[in-house]
């Protein structure tokens, strides 16, 4: 499907013909994702744990599990072999995973979240700031995913964690946009990929394998490598 920024569409008047047509199409695509949930199954593949990632405790204020975090940190470790590349997180909520990722690398971590709803509100932003303000390598871009990509002013990402709006329209858009910005060999992680309530996210990850290679898949987390 052609790339369309869902947040850009939603800036149009609610009764705009283009917005109505797009909304109807995306609802149909989401229903299609639910109807074919089992078809989009992805093989399980756990990566080798990188040094310093084997002892991960349960986190609060996040749905990221210890197993998922271990995979994320192992993927993030690969940045150490890539000169100048940065990390990015799309959807930060209260900054719990932002904090853990930033503590695991000396590279810049570009944290992207507009805090306009969709899982993150102003009160969550205040918690995010408290958790990350002392971390010198965290740079917050208070923008939507599409806006942040269009105004990107940093080195190319070598690691991206997408944990934003969990539907087909947003996840497929985020995956396409951020993989295009990433370096060859860069890793793109997608959260909530095995929950039937987020069937569109699973489908987007499954479709991503057509142009990317599977690096890891544990319950509710898929990591793809750009070719």
Cα distances (angstroms) measured from residue 46 to each of 69, 119, 140, 219, 223 = 12, 28, 30, 10, 10
On the question of pLDDT at 54 being above 90, the answer is no
Task: Find the mean pLDDT for residues 33-42.
Answer: 98
1 belongs to a structural domain: no
211 belongs to a structural domain: yes
Model-wide pTM > 0.75: yes
Mean residue pLDDT of the chain comes to 95
Task: Find the mean pLDDT for residues 27-37.
Answer: 98
| Cα–Cα distance for residue pair 25/55, rounded to 1 Å | 44
Residue 137's CATH number: 3.40.50.150
- pLDDT tens for each residue of 68-91: 999 999 999 999 889 899 999 999
Contact 100, 79 (CB under 8 A): no
12 belongs to a structural domain: yes
205 belongs to a structural domain: yes
Contact 150, 173 (CB under 8 A): no
Instruction: Note the pLDDT of residue 56.
Output: 78
141 belongs to a structural domain: yes
210 belongs to a structural domain: yes
Domain membership of residue 58 as a residue range? 6-226
161 belongs to a structural domain: yes
Our count of domains for the chain comes to: 1
Task: Find the mean pLDDT for residues 184-199.
Answer: 98
Rg (the chain; Cα; Å): 17
201 belongs to a structural domain: yes
């Amino acid at each position: 499907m052609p790339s369309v920024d869902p947040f850009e569409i939603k800036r149009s008047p609610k009764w705009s013909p283009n917005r109505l047509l797009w909304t109807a199409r995306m609802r149909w695509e989401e229903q299609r994702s639910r109807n074919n949930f089992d078809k989009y199954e992805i093989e399980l593949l756990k990566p080798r744990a990188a040094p310093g990632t084997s002892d991960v405790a349960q986190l609060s204020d996040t749905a990221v599990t210890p197993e998922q975090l271990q995979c994320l940190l192992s993927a993030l470790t690969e940045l150490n072999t890539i000169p100048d590349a940065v990390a990015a997180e799309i959807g930060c909520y209260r900054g719990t995973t932002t904090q853990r990722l930033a503590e695991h690398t000396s590279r810049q971590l570009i944290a992207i979240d507009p805090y306009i709803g969709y899982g993150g509100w102003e009160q969550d932003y205040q918690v995010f700031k408290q958790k990350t303000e002392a971390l010198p390598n965290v740079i917050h871009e208070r923008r939507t995913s599409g806006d942040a990509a269009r105004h990107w002013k940093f080195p190319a990402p070598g690691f991206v964690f997408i944990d934003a709006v969990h539907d087909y329209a947003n996840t497929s858009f985020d995956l396409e946009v951020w993989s295009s910005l990433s370096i060859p060999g860069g890793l793109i992680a997608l959260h909530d990929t095995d929950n039937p309530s987020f069937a569109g996210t699973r489908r987007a990850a499954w479709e991503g394998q057509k142009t990317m290679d599977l690096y890891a898949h544990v319950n509710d987390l898929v990591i793809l490598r750009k070719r």
